[in-house]
Amino acid sequence: MSLPSIADHTEEDLKLQLALTHDERMKQLERQTLSNWVEMAEIAIVVRDNNEAPLLGYESWTDWLKFAAPQSESAVHQSIRILGQLEKDIPREELRQMPKGNAKVLPYMDQADRRDPKWIKNAKTMKPKKFVEEIQKKRPGLHIEKMAPRKYGFSISQSEIIDGAIAMYQVIEEKPDASAEEALEGAAAQYILEHMKQYEKITGKKFPVTV
């Protein structure tokens, strides 16, 4: 019976080492993905509070954020808002281990539940859909199942108008941290208020949404 050669052992060892490297790197990237939303918000807050944008050649913090994180600008605004809502209840290191989809649900829970180690663990380990289901079992009246994101296919020109409306809302309402969702809700509410009587005159019905 022939024994495996040293070369065979070396080749298998190299394959195993490569597999272990890929496994560890994937786990590192997973951890980074979970914590990125927190770190991006932290950096944005520091740049804003230290008034660093002019030092970098930008007229304002919002101008800097548009350039520094063009694909994530709205998400960063939302992340800043989430941190502000949770900072008194959940340590920052715990939030770094949560997917943002779970973290954004926590402000809708009672403060005692948010601080409960069980729910913090659930927020760190459960997928967002499962996490929402578990909260619904405890508090069915929250209706947080309706927090599922809406997806639209905007053209470039439409996106420019929407981005402009969001930026205008943040300036006029003096809410530089307002998320895209909040800004669009505000713009939509204003449109409804301005045209509600016209709608009711045309349809003969009371507008079904209260703003």
Chain segment 40-74, per-residue pLDDT in tens: 999 999 999 999 999 999 999 989 998 998 888 88
Supply the pLDDT for residue 138. Answer: 78
How many Å separate Cα 30 from the centre of its chain?
Answer: 16
Chain segment 138-180, per-residue pLDDT in tens: 777 665 655 555 567 888 888 889 989 998 988 888 888 788 8
Cα angle 152-170-36, degrees, rounded to a multiple of 5: 65
Supply the pLDDT for residue 185. Answer: 83
Residue 125 near residue 34, CB atoms below 8 Å: no
Domain ranges (residues) in the chain: 6-144, 156-203
CB atoms < 10 A from the CB of 123, how many?
25
Maximum Cα–Cα distance for the chain, whole Å? 95
SS3 assignment, position 161: helix
For the chain, percent of residues with pLDDT exceeding 70: 88
Q: Is the pTM of this model over 0.75?
A: no
Among candidates 34, 29, 42, 131, which has minimal Cα distance to 79? 42
